[in-house]
Structure 1
Amino acid sequence: MKFSPRSLNYGMDKFSVYLPLFVMALLALATFWLARNAPTFVQEAQVDLTSTDPDYAMRDFAVRTYAGSGNLMVQIHGESGQHYPVRDLLEVHRIRVRFVADNGRVTTASAQTGTSNGKGTEMSLRGNAVVVQEPLAQSPRLEFQGEELLLWPEESRVQSNLPVTLLRGADRMSGDTLYYDKNRQQIEIKGRVRTTLQP
């Protein structure tokens, strides 16, 4: 059987019309096969931001926060500690704190347990809590003692809703509650207040 050049050209023309459809069908099948047989990637574990569990724990540690100038601002030591990511809260057993203000005044604090926010600007101290502001220029040494003290070292504020003792130089004051704000030059002690002032 002989093919004339004319019929051969006609067959090639017809084939060239359907060739793109044939190639597209082959590509679609190859893509489908690759999609079904490609390996699946393991998703990274997502952090549960609603969990109340700590995300890490530490033992015999020190956490330091530096100011923009590079100077050490807050240093927190502890025997053990846990970080809770939901509120960015650090809970510390046998906490010791050292804070250096912009004017150079040093505030130290210690307690059986304590919590601090991530920046170390707000702290809650419980169990034999002591906060000391070292003397600077005309400001005398201040020492706060109580079972629970709330401390804002950057703002030079101390507060307690439980009985507290304040030592200001040689003077001694005690009461049922305390509010102290260095920037406002305000000390407020309420309840059964006792004061001993040295001449």
Structure 2
Amino acid sequence: MLVDAWRLYPVIALAALAGGSIWLERATRTDEPVVWAEQTGPDFAAEFTRVTSFGDDGRQRYELVADRLEHFPVDDTTRLHLPRLHMLGEDSETFVTANSANVSPGGDQVDLTGEVRVRRPATNDAPPLTLESETLTVWPDAHRALTHSPVLLTRGDGRTTAQGMHADDLFGTLELIGEVRTHLPRRRQGSPS
């Protein structure tokens, strides 16, 4: 009978271990479901960035520089702080600055906001041109721009205001939208017509 009791000790020890495991599992279980928090902040950030795009012919099309770049995985957008866009055309160049910008997935569209300023230096054929607005959407590869915010356009000594603007070939063809007002300087006496 004493020999049979020794055979039961392993069974009793295993039963006690199984009971302790069940008790431990129930003591640490929570009835609340596990909630995975979605990442809302950036998953990538870089300081003083420069992105350069080249055309099929190998010529530089544009350069985008920013003090800070942040990528947000929730909507796959990139936010730029103090962006500066330098676009090169066939025989002209255009400079665009703003307080911030959001770049769409794939980089096709840049939405600039806050003190947007576009500047095109004078050429042999045209006076300098500047445009000021609070917002501007630019498609750098297509050289197009659009805003529905009020704009102030200065070309040489002339000033024009409007409620919006659409540009193809980035100011090659310009369409001003709504309540356009133009101020042209008076001609000087004796100047040719």
- Coarse TM-score class (shorter-chain normalised): 0.5 to 0.7
Q: Show the counterpart of 1:12.
A: none
**Partner deviation per Cα, 1:20-72 (whole Å, 9 max, x = no partner):** xxxxxxxxxxxxxxxxxxxxxxxxxxxxxx97654421112212222233322
Counterpart AA for 1:94: L
Larger Rg: 1
Distance 1:119 1:127 in 2: 23
SS at match of 1:115: strand
Identity fraction in percent: 25
- Extract unaligned runs of 5+ from structure 1: 1-49
2:67 — aligned with what? 79
Equivalent position of 1:181 in the other structure = 168
Equivalent residue number for residue 102 of structure 2: 115
Q: Does the 8 Å contact 1:107/1:153 carry over to 2? A: no
Query: What is the aligned partner in structure 1 of residue 152 from structure 2?
Result: 165
How far 1:181 sits from its partner (Å)? 2.9
Aligned to 2:45: 57
Aligned position for 2:93: 106
Q: Is 2:92 the partner of 1:92? A: no
**Aligned with 1:138: secondary structure?**
coil
Secondary structure at the aligned position of 1:79 is classed as strand
Q: Per-residue deviation at 1:112?
A: 0.5
TM-score of the superposition, structure 2-length normalised?
A: 0.63
- Counterpart of 1:23 in structure 2 is none
Q: Does 2:183 match 1:196?
A: yes
The Cα of 1:178 is off from its aligned counterpart by 2.0
Letter in 2 for 1:134: P
List alignment gaps of at least 5 residues for structure 2. Answer: 1-37, 188-193
Of 125, 129, 132, the residue aligned with 2:112 is 125
Q: 1:169 to 1:120 in 2, by over 3 A?
A: farther
Q: Which has more helix, going by share of residues?
A: 1
Q: Mean Cα displacement is larger for which, 175-184 or 110-119?
A: 175-184
RMSD: 2.8
Runs of 4+ that moved beyond 6 A: none
Is the counterpart of residue 149 in structure 1 residue 133 in structure 2? no
How far, CA to CA, are the matches of 2:161 and 2:75 in structure 1?
33
CA shift, 1:172, in A, is 0.7
SS of the residue corresponding to residue 68 of structure 1 reads coil
Kindly tell me: are residues 154 and 72 of structure 1, through their superposed partners in 2, closer, same or farther at Cα, counting changes over 3 Å? same
1:65 touches 1:120 (CA, 8 Å); kept in 2?
A: no
How many residues were matched structurally? 148
| CA shift for structure 1 position 148 | 0.8
